[in-house]
Amino acid sequence: MLKDEYKVFENKMKKSIDSVAADFAAVRAGRANAAVLDRIMVDYYGSPTPIQQIASIGSPDPRSLVITPWDATAVKAIEKAIQESDLGINPANDGKSLRLLFPQLTEERRRELTKQIGKYAEGGKVAIRNIRRDAMDKFKKLQKDSEITEDDLKQAEKDIQKLTDEMIKRVDELYSAKEKELMEV
C-alpha cells in the first residue's frame, strides 16, 4: 500500500525536476537556442500566445535565430514581446522576419546567469522539500487514523527522505551541468 503512495510523491518530485530543467533550457548560454523563446508570450489578437505557435524559428548559424511569423502583421507584436522580456537581446526587424543575434557572453553576464540558474535550482529544491513535507503529513495522518503502524510510519519517513535526497541530488547535477555550460562558452 505504501509503495503506491511513494509513486505519487515520486512523480510530483520528477515534475519539479522537469520544471527546473525547462527553466535551465530557457537560459541562454551564448549559442542560439530556440528554447530561450519558450517563456515569451506574444499579445496576438488580444490573447497571450507562445511565439512557437505563430511563427517558425530557425537557426541559420550558431549565434543567431530567425523568427518568421506566418501572419506578417504579428512581426511588431513579436518584436515588442522580445524587447519586454528578460532575454537581453534586441531583435533586428526586416518587415517580414526578426533576427536575434546572440553576442558572446561577458564575464558579468555569465555571473548573472549563474545566479539566475541558482535561483531556479533552489526553487526546485524547495518544491521537492514541500512535496516531502506533504508526504510526511499524509503518512502521519494515516498513522494517527490507525491505518498504518508506527513502524510503517518510520519506514515511510526513511523512504521519503531517501527519495528526497535523490531528487535534490539530481537538481544539483542539472545545476552543475548548466553552470559548466555557461562557463565554457
Average pLDDT, stretch 120-127? 93
Give per-residue pLDDT as tens, 133-150. Answer: 999 999 899 888 888 888
Give per-residue pLDDT as tens, 87-109. Answer: 777 888 888 888 888 777 778 87
Per-residue confidence band for 35, with pLDDT thresholds at 50, 70 and 90: confident
User: What is the domain-level CATH number for residue 45?
Assistant: 3.30.1360.40
| Residue of 157, 149, 116 whose CA lies nearest to 29 | 116
Give per-residue pLDDT as tens, 80-90. Answer: 888 888 777 78
What is the chain's mean pLDDT, rounded? 85
Distance in angstroms (rounded) separating the CA atoms of residues 138 and 6: 11
Average pLDDT, stretch 20-28? 80
Domain that holds residue 77: 34-101
5 touches 153 (CB < 8 A): no
Per-residue confidence band for 31, with pLDDT thresholds at 50, 70 and 90: low
9 touches 2 (CB < 8 A): no
Same domain assignment for residues 113 and 95:
no
Same domain assignment for residues 20 and 76:
no
The model's pTM is: 0.71
Q: What pLDDT does residue 185 have?
A: 57
User: What is the domain-level CATH number for residue 9?
Assistant: 1.10.132.20
Same domain assignment for residues 52 and 76:
yes
Backbone phi, then psi, for 90, in 5-degree steps?
-95, 120
List the grid coordinates of 147. Answer: 491505518
Same domain assignment for residues 19 and 38:
no
Give how many domains the chain has, as a whole number: 2
List the grid coordinates of 100. Answer: 536575434
